[in-house]
Amino acid sequence: MNAPKPAKTLAGQKCPICDAGKFQLAQINHTEEVASDNPIEIRGIWVDRCDHCGEIIFPGDTTRFIESVVAEQTEQLTPRELEMIREDLGVQRQDEMSEILGLGAKTYHKWESGAQFPTRSMSYYIRVLAESPQAFEWLRRRGWRNKNRLTQPDAQADFAAMFPDLTMPSNLADSCGVARVQRHIAKRTNPALGLTRVAFTLK
């Protein structure tokens, strides 16, 4: 991938650092430090460089090119990919996507605008959700909040193991609904037995 020549530069302008030289457009090799990864060398990028003190300024087009190279090599998602994934998953607003993913309200907007890039691990996470719409919908509705351990098939066995003094009789083994458990507990000769533990469990 060749670095594009920037459309806007400071070429010909006086350098504010040394106040003696002028900026000229030049090509250099640049090493980008990436957290938790090896440095990425990007060859032949365009910069504005002072012909007197050597001060270097990165034009906007060059900065965006560097970010795109880093995103590609670290497998980060590009702004366009993020936008397409959001739309494919049926999310209209960027702030809504941020909320679903548990991010800050403006984070997804910054990603789509190119102001920031998601980490590689977050890019992997979003790719999984893009390939698994059911998982995304489960995340969207916070599916884990609807789970109640006492309604699960193995709940009676777990209940018996945790509270042997309150074990349900076999004729209730076919249904472990909370209402039936509560009725069974109410019929015990000593309803206070294990009351604290039961109240905590049924919350």
> What is the per-residue pLDDT across 148-171, written as a single tens digit (0 to 9) for each?
655 565 656 665 666 666 555 555
Total domains present in the chain: 3
Looking at residue 158, what is its pLDDT?
62
Domain co-membership, 128 together with 170: no
Instruction: Please report, for the domain that includes residue 101, its CATH number.
Output: 1.10.260
The better pLDDT of the pair 76, 4 is held by 4
Domain co-membership, 123 together with 88: yes
Domain co-membership, 140 together with 153: no
Domain co-membership, 2 together with 68: yes
Structure tokens at 180: 């039936």
DSSP single-letter state for residue 194: T
Instruction: Please report, for the domain that includes residue 67, its CATH number.
Output: 3.10.20.860
pTM score:
0.47
Is 94 exposed, middle or buried, given 0-12, 13-18 or 19+ CB atoms closer than 10 A?
Answer: buried
Domain co-membership, 171 together with 123: no
Domain co-membership, 133 together with 186: no
- Would you say the C-alpha torsion 118, 124, 125, 128 has a positive or negative sign? positive
Structure tokens at 30: 């640049």
Domain residues for the domain of 84 are 79-144
Boundary residue ending a domain (74, 93, 112): 74
Please give the Cα distance from 108 to 98 (Å, whole number): 5
Boundary residue ending a domain (53, 74, 95): 74
> What is the per-residue pLDDT across 96-124, written as a single tens digit (0 to 9) for each?
999 999 999 999 999 998 888 888 889 99
Do 159 and 150 meet the contact criterion of CB atoms below 8 Å apart? yes
With helix as H, strand as E and coil as C, how does 97-149 read?
Answer: HHHHHCCCCCHHHHHHHCCCCCCHHHHHHHHHHHHCHHHHHHHHCCHHHHCCH
Boundary residue ending a domain (35, 50, 74): 74
Domain co-membership, 179 together with 115: no
